[in-house]
Amino acid sequence: MPALTLRRATEADIPFIMETERLPGYDEFIGRYSLEEHKAQLTNPGFAYLIGDDAAGESLGFVILMDLDRRDGNACVKRIAVASPEKGVGSQLLAKAVDVSFLEYPTHRLWLDVVRENTRAKTVYLKTGFIEEGVLREAALLPGGRRSDFFIMSLLRPEWASRRG
């Protein structure tokens, strides 16, 4: 598993982000934005675009956090994707992004949704400390018009703090 450094994305990272979110099979699980949407969100203070780089500076994945400016402290992991799955990068990337959310923002509850079929991601979320809160039945519209459930998961600041020790 390569060591990962997390950094803020710049506009120069948008092509990598768009290429990664368009990898085969990802449209079913993570969605995608247009160039204009990424540019707008990259400058929005409620969003944090984070890139995970290896020791050589190669980008391995990204995380988009949103709602970081909400008064109630409910922030969201909007999207996480890695260029090459099954190498442990996603686990490191998520853990570091969770730290950013709680250390750099007034986040109290970090939440996400995950499609029922995305068992690999759900395993990573559980390992990171997220707890399943409930199910949005048939709320996901997948390619081809198929419907699926979203699991809602969250991690509270006190839970995160106790895991850090």
Give the model confidence (pLDDT) of 77-125 as tens digits. 999 999 987 778 999 999 999 999 999 999 999 999 999 999 999 999 9
Region 10-21: mean pLDDT is 97
Q: Please name the residue that has the structure tokens 């929005």.
A: 44
pLDDT of 87: 78
pLDDT of 7: 97
Cβ atoms of residues 68 and 46 within 8 Å: yes
pLDDT of 85: 79
> Which residue segment(s) compose the domain that 27 sits in?
5-164
- Confidence band, pLDDT 50/70/90 cuts, at residue 1: low
Helix or strand (DSSP H, E) at 158? helix 157-164
Whole-prediction pTM value? Answer: 0.94
pLDDT of 138: 97
Residue 133 sits in a domain whose CATH number is 3.40.630.30
Query: Which segment, 70-79, 87-96, 136-145, is predicted with the most confidence on average?
Result: 70-79
Please name the amino acid found at residue 37.
E
pLDDT of 2: 67
Q: How many domains does the chain have?
A: 1
Cα separation, 156 vs 50, in Å, equals 21
Token reading at 157: 């600041």
Q: What is the mean pLDDT of the chain?
A: 94
pLDDT of 154: 99
126-137: b (≥16 Cβ within 10 Å) or e: eebbbeeeeeee
Token reading at 138: 């048939």
